[in-house]
Structure formats: C-alpha cells, structure tokens
Amino acid sequence: MNRRTALTLLAGAPLMTANPAAAQTTGASTDLAAVQAWCDRCVAAWAAGDGPAMYAGDAEALEWINIVGMHWRGKADVVAAHERYLTTMFRGVPMSLREIETLRPIGRDGVVAVVRWSVGQFTTPTGHVIPPSEDRMTLVFERDADALRLLHGANVQIDPVAAASDPIS
C-alpha cells in the first residue's frame, strides 16, 4: 500500500472503538487482541530494559518518532535507540498502559491504534527532570499473514494544561 492510498483510507475509514464490548466482528476483536498483545510486550520489554524484545516480530521497515521529534528509520535503529534509552534514562522508570483508545482499520492491510500510557518521572540526558506524565501514541500496524506487525509509531506527551483547554472536550 502506498502512502497516498494509506492516507486516503485512513481519512475515510470509520472509527472503531477499542472497547472489547464494542468490537462487533471477529476481525475487530482479533485486531484488538493483537494490539493488546503488542502493548503487553512493550510494557514487559520496557520494564526489562530490553529494546530487541520490545520490537520482536515487527516490520523491518519500522519507523518511530519519539516524544521530542527524533525520527528513527528502520527496525535496527528503532531498537538501538530504545535500547540505549531503556538502559539509561528510563532504567527503573515505570510505564503502564492506560487504555487502547481507538482502532481504525486501513483497508484489509492495516490498523491504526491510538494508545495512552503512564510514564514515571525520569531525567533526560541533559539533566532535566521530567515529572510523571501520560503519553499518547499513534501506532500503525500492517498485516502479515494473520499477524499485525508494527510499521510506524509516534509518541506525544499529553500536556495537562493544554488538555484543560481542549475545545472539543
């Protein structure tokens, strides 16, 4: 699927909640289970400081945009960057899944998930102390046989001050 097709499908695809009770079809519940399994693997790998385990089985063409806008291209670079940070500034920092907020199918070949995480306090490489926060990630998965493989991730820290002024909520 090319980028234009993916964006067209994404823009026109119906929103599907990730609430298991709302999953109406076998495909939706299978996708939810696969995304939940990915999130569970991510939490376990984070706690273990294990970058390779975090992305085991994901696409070789994986891309990641981190919370401060760094863009890593290719699974090897994504794994290396996470391994570096997981064994330094995130060592011992708790992270937990708060919610899979939404799932959105992209045709028959993919799924977009929006997930929310809680992350404990950490200190950046430049010495700034970042207080506990919540993050929201957009995760794009591609279908490979009967599995979903992460193809792209983008992480955004939720700003609680700005969120209080959200004109939609």
Given this model, what pLDDT does residue 110 score?
Answer: 94
Q: Does the residue 168 lie in any domain?
A: no
What's the one-letter identity of residue 43?
V
Q: Does the residue 56 lie in any domain?
A: yes
Q: Does the residue 78 lie in any domain?
A: yes
Q: What is the mean pLDDT of residues 41-59?
A: 96
pLDDT at 42 over 50: yes
Read off the CATH number of the domain in which 76 is found. Answer: 3.10.450.50
Supply the mean pLDDT for the chain. 86
* Nearest partner of 86 among 124, 46, 118, judged by Cα: 46
What DSSP designation does 130 have? Answer: E
For the chain, how many structural domains are there in total? 1
In which domain, by residue range, is 112 found? 3-163
Given this model, what pLDDT does residue 87 score?
Answer: 95
Given this model, what pLDDT does residue 153 score?
Answer: 98
Q: Does the residue 7 lie in any domain?
A: yes
Given this model, what pLDDT does residue 27 score?
Answer: 67
Q: What is the dihedral of CA 135, 114, 48, 78, to 10 degrees?
A: -90
Q: Compute the distance between CA of residue 92 and CA of residue 86 in angstroms, rounded to an integer.
A: 9
Asked if residue 75 lies in contact with residue 66, where contact means CB atoms within 8 angstroms, the answer is: no
- Please provide the DSSP assignment of 31-73 as one string: HHHHHHHHHHHHHHHHHHT-HHHHTTT--TT-EEE-TT--EEE
Three-class SS of residue 123? Answer: strand
Q: What is the mean pLDDT of residues 67-72?
A: 95
Q: Compute the distance between CA of residue 46 and CA of residue 54 in angstroms, rounded to an integer.
A: 7
Q: Does the residue 131 lie in any domain?
A: yes
What's CA 92's distance to the chain center, in Å?
20
What tens digit of pLDDT does each residue of 99-112 get? 999 999 998 899 99
pLDDT at 60 over 70: yes
Q: What is the mean pLDDT of residues 121-150?
A: 93
Q: Which of 20-29, 134-143, 150-159 has the lowest mean pLDDT?
A: 20-29
* Nearest partner of 120 among 134, 130, 129, 132, judged by Cα: 132
* Nearest partner of 113 among 135, 139, 149, judged by Cα: 139
Percent of the chain residues topping a pLDDT of 90: 75
Q: What is the mean pLDDT of residues 1-5?
A: 39
Q: Does the residue 39 lie in any domain?
A: yes
